[in-house]
Amino acid sequence: MAKHRRMIIIFTILVFISISLYLFFWMVTTPYQLFPKDPQLKVVMQKAITNIIGRKFDQVIGMTIAAILIASSSLVFQTITENRILTPSLIGFDAVFVTVQTLIVFLFTSSSIFYTNPYLNFVLASGLMIMISLSMYRIILKKNKNHLVFLLLVGMILSTLSRSLASFLQNIMDPMEFQSIVIRTEVTVSNMNTSIIYMSIPFLLIISFLFIKNFKTYDVMTLGESQAIGLGVEYQKKMNYALIYMAIAMSITTALIGPISFLGLITVNASRELLKTHKHLPLFILSSLIAMLMLILGQTIIIETGYMTTVSVWISLVGGIYMIYLLLKENQA
Amino acid sequence: MIQPINEQQVRPINIHQMKRFNVRRLILIFLFVLLTITSLLIGVLDVNFIDLISLDKDAWSILWISRIPRTVSIILAASSLSIAGLIMQAISRNKFISPSTAGTTNAAILGVLLSYLLFGQINPIFRSIFSFVFAMFGTFIFMLILRKIKFKNIIYVPLIGLMYGAMISSISSLIAHQFNALQFLNTIGITGFSNKASGTYELLYFVIPAMIMAILYATRFSIIGMGEDFSKNLGINYSYVMMVGLIIISAISALTFVMIGTLPFVGLIVPNLVSYYYGDHVKKSIIDLMLFGSSFVLLNDILSRLIIYPYEISITFTMGVTGAIIFLILIFRRIHHGKA
């Protein structure tokens, strides 16, 4: 326990350092004089500085939300699939997100309130995504117990299907409408959808609360399905709920910063390795911290090196290599 | 390691069944011919039978310059990709694997990108060679990883393959970003059949030797799928046959990729459907496989040419939709029968 606490404290400090780097490091490297003598210029500069820091602060909040949601949903997903390699982003939420946005524009045009109002758009898109995933779960999981792998496979296929449908609709629609879709759907960490950051905070709180409330149950579920049932866990019900939370979490992160498929894999496995435990609470805290560290520090480095590449590309590269290492290591015995 | 032998192989084939098999094949051939003719006759410029029979010069030149290249490239690409999928599934003994779910396509993209960066707009032969080498290397590494590990459930394999492919793609986009080639990277793989005319498709004929090799080695591929020890027992050089299989798969994937682009699901669905109806005997079903694959892609191509006629939509989209629906039906059927 003491060891867990030490790890968590170390990573909290690291996260704070990286946040302050992200917020203030640009002041060191900027070519402009930030505190000029001229009083008129001084006012302008002060305005600019508060403006920049305010925007960066928004981005930090957005990355924090995404990091916590990705880490928690990946952790629980790995528990219910009994597999350390999978992450819920394999179900293909990014494709569904693009399709939903395309459908909204296609049906109501880009000047409609469903598209221009960020709140309404977010609610509509998330609602549709949650509905799609729920009906998917219902069809597959209800008919046959514990066909989670099929769920993954179906998700994989559905993502191709929805991507093709979206491309088809985008092909036949007006070029101006198409442009507006590209702006909305090509969100990355650098190009965050800032308008929905603050409205996703209540969702974050509710979802994390539900996850944390169930962590004791998930600890039992780690033992495997039959053991968990033997110990009195309503396995099927708990699993369905977990999948619903995951659908909400994934739709928020996709709308916020776009798909980062390997982040959950890296963070959860790294924290497992560091803590050597199966308890969900410390794992959740540490993997959220690691995810924040990776996103914020990575983004700082990328900004300072002049946007050489994007964070998600680096994360998938590192994550892919880490995945292969894990696969080989786990199966050596 | 050794799976129970497929029921269809054990059951003695009676005459009744033989007949049904032949009828099936006849229907398939009929369908194939019908679709080929339809594909030849569809287009913005009107070409019909009467013109052709009366030896109208314009009609014949349209046929030669545009229609035949398109149809031939569809048939070649479709049948070779189905074969590549079949071999891959036989070697890895996993029904859910195909060049697009094992990193092969992503590695081929990386090869095309590197050839572009090193040599600029070179001719497609070099490009194919580059992507062939990379595809082979990428597939080889994936197969190596697969051999090292044992999965509780075989469906995890394509998922791992997808993530592996995502990793290779991230390398491509990293490199492309450094050299300002992101736009080029996005254009790789969306060629399609629409620009195929005489002079631009001939390189695709190189898949024919690969297909012949595949037919010759068909039985050996199903044997090495049963494991290294088993194939040694039967006197087959495991690593040699494995290498041949990988070369065939990579050559087909790279060539079709450079010339046509991505055809989603062909390598995955067609072998699955064919083995559903004809059993797992690779050698016996390979002709039906080629016919079936070609008919499937021909049908999709005709659809994508007709939906917004006189324009056409990319076949990648049509294949994505129809293929996904068929695959979903297949999966649900499996779930229904309780065969995981």
Convert the pLDDT of each residue in A165-175 to its tens digit.
887 787 777 88
Which DSSP string do the residues of B199-229 spell out, in sequence order?
TTSGGGGGHHHHHHHHHHTHHHHHHHTT-HH
At B321 the pLDDT is 86
The chain A residue lying nearest B164, using CA atoms, is: A320
- Give the pLDDT mean for A308-331: 80
Q: Which two tokens stand for residue A92?
A: 């293909």
The chain A residue lying nearest B335, using CA atoms, is: A144
A241-269 per-position pLDDT tens digit? 888 888 888 888 888 888 777 888 889 98
Q: How far is CA B328 from CA A158, B38, B320, in A?
A: 8, 28, 12
B86: left (phi over 0), alpha (psi -120 to 50) or beta: alpha
**CB count, 10 Å around CB of A57?**
13
On whether residue B220 sits in a domain, the answer given is yes
Instruction: Please indicate whether, in this complex, the C-beta atoms of A149 and B156 are within 8 angstroms of each other.
Output: yes
Evaluate whether B304 touches B313 at the Cβ level (below 8 Å): yes
At A291 the pLDDT is 92
**CB count, 10 Å around CB of A68?**
23
At B16 the pLDDT is 53
Q: Which of A139, A161, A190 to mutate to test the interface with B (most CBs of B within 10 A)?
A: A161
At A306 the pLDDT is 74
Q: Which two tokens stand for residue B247?
A: 């070369």
Angstroms from B54 CA to nearest CA on chain A: 39
Amino acid (1-letter code) at residue A243: L
Evaluate whether B142 touches B222 at the Cβ level (below 8 Å): no
- Contact pairs from chain A to chain B, CB under 8 Å: 131
The chain B residue lying nearest A317, using CA atoms, is: B167
| Cα gap B233→B220, rounded to integer Å | 13
Q: Which two tokens stand for residue B198?
A: 């005489």
- Residue B325 touches partner A, C-beta closer than 8 Å: yes
| Cα gap B45→B65, rounded to integer Å | 13
At A68 the pLDDT is 92
HSE toward the beta carbon, residue B182, CA cutoff 13 A: 10
Q: Which two tokens stand for residue A35?
A: 């505190």
* Residues 6 or more apart whose Cβ sits within 8 Å of residue A279: A215, A219
Q: Which residue segment(s) compose the domain that B103 sits in? A: 68-337
Instruction: Please indicate whether, in this complex, the C-beta atoms of B174 and A314 are within 8 angstroms of each other.
Output: yes
A117-127 per-position pLDDT tens digit? 878 888 888 78
On whether residue B57 sits in a domain, the answer given is no
On whether residue B9 sits in a domain, the answer given is no
A31-48 per-position pLDDT tens digit? 777 777 788 888 888 888
Which DSSP string do the residues of B271-317 spell out, in sequence order?
HHHHHHHH-S-HHHHHHHHHHHHHHHHHHHHHHHHHTTTTS---HHH
Angstroms from B293 CA to nearest CA on chain A: 19
| Cα gap A245→A234, rounded to integer Å | 17
Count how many domains chain B has: 1
On chain A, the residues whose CB falls within 8 A of the CB of B320 are 160-161, 163-165, 167
Chain A residues contacting B via beta carbons under 8 Å? 83, 85-86, 90, 140, 143-144, 147, 149-150, 152-154, 156-158, 160-161, 163-165, 167-168, 171-172, 261-262, 265, 308-310, 313-314, 316-317, 319-321, 323-324, 327-328, 330-331
Look at chain A and count its residues: 333
Instruction: Please indicate whether, in this complex, the C-beta atoms of B156 and A154 are within 8 angstroms of each other.
Output: no
Residue from B222, B208, B253, B223 nearest B102 by CA: B253
Evaluate whether A187 touches A63 at the Cβ level (below 8 Å): no
At A135 the pLDDT is 79
Residue from B209, B309, B277, B330 nearest B27 by CA: B277
DSSP tag of B155: T
At A331 the pLDDT is 66
| Cα gap B340→B334, rounded to integer Å | 7
**CB count, 10 Å around CB of A86?**
23
The chain A residue lying nearest B148, using CA atoms, is: A328
Torsion, Cα B70 B71 B77 B83, to 10 degrees, reads 180
At A333 the pLDDT is 42
On whether residue B38 sits in a domain, the answer given is no
Helices A311-330/B156-178 angle, 10° precision: 140
- Tracing tokens 């071999």 back to the chain, one arrives at B87
Evaluate whether A84 touches A326 at the Cβ level (below 8 Å): yes
Q: Which two tokens stand for residue B6?
A: 């497929």
CATH of the domain at B244: 1.10.3470.10
Give residue A286's pLDDT band: very low, low, confident or very high (50, 70, 90). very high
* Residues 6 or more apart whose Cβ sits within 8 Å of residue B209: none
* Residues 6 or more apart whose Cβ sits within 8 Å of residue A95: A158, A159, A160, A162, A163, A166
On whether residue B1 sits in a domain, the answer given is no
**CB count, 10 Å around CB of B9?**
11
Whether the link from the prior residue into A282 is cis, omega within 30° of 0, is no
Choices 1.10.3470.10, 1.20.210.10, 3.60.110.10, 3.40.50.970: CATH for A58-190+197-330: 1.10.3470.10
- Residue B156 touches partner A, C-beta closer than 8 Å: yes
Taking the alpha carbons at both ends of chain B, their separation in whole angstroms is 17
Angstroms from B12 CA to nearest CA on chain A: 34
Angstroms from A35 CA to nearest CA on chain B: 35
Evaluate whether A300 touches A22 at the Cβ level (below 8 Å): yes
Amino acid (1-letter code) at residue B293: G
Give residue A332's pLDDT band: very low, low, confident or very high (50, 70, 90). low
DSSP helix, strand, coil percent of chain B (3-state; round to 5):
75, 0, 25
Q: Which two tokens stand for residue A196?
A: 């929905």
For the whole model, what pTM was predicted? 0.79
At A141 the pLDDT is 66
- In chain B, DSSP finds a helix count (H) and a strand count (E) of 16, 0
On whether residue B37 sits in a domain, the answer given is no
Q: Which two tokens stand for residue B160?
A: 């791992």
| Cα gap B217→B211, rounded to integer Å | 10
On chain A, the residues whose CB falls within 8 A of the CB of B155 are 149-150, 152-153
Percent of chain A with pLDDT over 70: 95
On chain B, the residues whose CB falls within 8 A of the CB of A85 are 156, 159-160, 163
Q: How far is CA A271 from CA A276, B37, B151, in A?
A: 8, 61, 23
| Cα gap A137→A148, rounded to integer Å | 9
pLDDT over threshold 90, residue A288 = yes
Tens-level pLDDT at each residue, chain B (340 residues): 444 444 444 445 455 555 555 787 888 889 999 998 888 888 777 777 777 777 777 778 888 888 888 889 999 999 999 999 988 888 887 777 888 778 888 898 898 888 888 887 767 788 888 888 898 889 888 888 877 776 656 667 777 888 888 889 888 888 888 888 877 777 776 667 777 777 778 888 888 999 999 988 888 888 887 877 888 888 888 888 888 988 898 889 888 888 888 787 888 888 888 887 777 777 778 888 899 999 999 999 898 888 877 777 878 888 888 888 888 887 777 666 654 4
Instruction: For Cα atoms B103, B147, B99, give the angle at the middle one, nearest 5 degrees.
Output: 25
Instruction: Provide φ and ψ at B263, rounded to 5°.
Output: -120, 95
